Amino acid sequence: MIVLLQRVSEARVDVDGVTIGAIGPGLLALICALAGDAEADADRLAAKTARLRIFADAQGRMNRSLLESGGAVLAVSQFTLAADTRRGNRPSYSSAAPFAVGEALYERFCTALAGTGVNVARGRFGAHMAVRLVNDGPVTIWLDSREGDSVASIN
């Protein structure tokens, strides 16, 4: 499972011109379930998202978690994070989980994250969405359940 986190001062997602999810300060989480992922992957990445210390403390250092900062999460499914661009110019998404499995794991991630006490707003799985955000930092973090408990910053 892949979760791409972007620290935001605000974010919202619209479907058919209607806002269905919006947050103030917190994280935009773009979520992709991969073939072979399990509920344990969703649970672990949800817990990691809640605990990741990427918010400023009183000294301005990234030392506070989402839980400590009181931020929210806008969770948006994004199967294109599974893109394989190694061959040709048309990405392959064959490593993405099948639709029903992806939807179940997306829902599991959202439920597990909400279970930690984080306010979770959601996009609509499988819908064409317009996502608007104001990056804060910018801070962008890549979480990948296939890489154990490691976290790599890409920004």
**Set 49, 55, 79, 109: catalytic member:** 79
DSSP output for 39-81: HHHHHHHHHHHHH---EE-TTS-EEE-HHHHT-EEEEEE-GGG
Which residue out of 6, 49, 55, 78 is catalytically annotated?
78
Identity at 10, one-letter amino acid code: E
The amino acid sitting at 138 is: P
DSSP 35: T
Give residue for tokens 């990948």. 144
125 is catalytic: no
Helix (H, G, I), strand (E, B) or coil at 1: coil
Candidates 80, 85, 109, 140; catalytic one: 80
Contact between residue 49 and residue 41 where contact means Cβ atoms under 8 Å apart: no
Active site residues: 78-80
